[in-house]
């Protein structure tokens, strides 16, 4: 699991106006554009929070940097693993909502087969979508954001069960506060994208 992940929100009126097979190239092209994108060695490094491009695409997309992850997918992967250890000890309502939230984002589920790409977001050609870890349309984002709004205030009820069944002090997302921080960051991403009517994309670079 040596992957990195970059999580972006993207204006659907800008990204969705081109065919699915061209959307990833449009997003990458704007991201890496000389002087106006985000791949600028002279730009200040963002440790956490939003990073917006410059120039003509400044209102088209943004990248969110998650706290304490250094851009690694490992934190997101291990959040799913920690959840597997604690979910049987969670209140059924919390379990249902956290299952839905994490299955919609980064967790493979108990069978490891969960899909994290909404149909039609990108094309079905793996050669074109190489590196896509997550792709949620505005409708999918709204559903996940609503799930987050329900479950976010209830997370503290998991603290005792997490400490007993999932904590691993030397590992990724090794304590309950790190688990909540990661979910809070996902909540910020989903809430901002839902507010704007945008999609969410996770890319491995």
Residues 150-188: tens digit of each pLDDT:
999 999 999 999 999 999 988 999 999 999 999 999 999
For the stretch 61-110, pLDDT in tens is 999 999 999 899 999 999 999 999 999 999 999 999 999 999 999 999 99
What mean pLDDT is reported for the chain?
Answer: 91
Residue 1 belongs to a domain: no
Residue 183 lies in a domain: yes
The beta-carbon contacts of 160-169 under 8 Å, at least 24 apart in sequence, are: 161/86, 161/89, 161/90, 162/82, 162/86, 164/89, 165/85, 165/86, 165/89, 166/82, 166/83, 166/85, 166/86, 168/82
Banded model confidence at residue 18, pLDDT cuts 50, 70, 90: very high
pLDDT for the residue numbered 39: 57
Q: Is residue 48 part of a domain?
A: yes
4: β partners: 72
In which domain, by residue range, is 47 found? 6-203
In a domain, 15, yes or no: yes
Other CB atoms within a 10 A radius of the CB of residue 102 amount to 23
For residue 57, being part of any structural domain is answered with yes
Counted domains in the chain: 1
In a domain, 25, yes or no: yes
Which stretches within 44-137 are classed as H helix? 74-86, 92-105
């Amino acid at each position: 699991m040596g992957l990195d992940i970059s999580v972006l929100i993207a204006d659907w009126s800008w990204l969705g106006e081109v065919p699915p097979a061209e959307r990833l190239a449009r997003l990458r092209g704007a991201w890496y554009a000389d002087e106006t994108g985000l791949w600028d060695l002279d730009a200040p490094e963002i440790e956490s929070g939003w990073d917006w491009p410059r120039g003509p695409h400044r209102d088209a997309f943004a990248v969110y940097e998650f706290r304490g992850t250094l851009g690694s997918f490992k934190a997101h992967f291990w959040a799913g693993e920690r959840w597997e250890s604690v979910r049987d000890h969670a209140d059924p309502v919390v379990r249902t909502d956290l299952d839905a939230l994490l299955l919609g984002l980064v967790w493979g589920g108990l069978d490891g087969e969960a899909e994290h790409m909404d149909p039609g977001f990108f094309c079905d050609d793996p050669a074109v979508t190489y590196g896509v870890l997550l792709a949620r349309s505005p409708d999918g984002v709204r559903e996940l954001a609503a799930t987050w709004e329900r479950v976010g205030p209830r997370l503290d009820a998991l603290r005792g069960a997490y400490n007993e069944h999932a904590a691993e002090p030397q590992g990724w997302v090794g304590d309950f506060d790190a688990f909540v921080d990661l979910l809070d960051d996902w909540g910020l991403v989903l809430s901002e994208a839902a507010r704007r009517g945008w999609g969410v994309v996770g890319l491995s670079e």
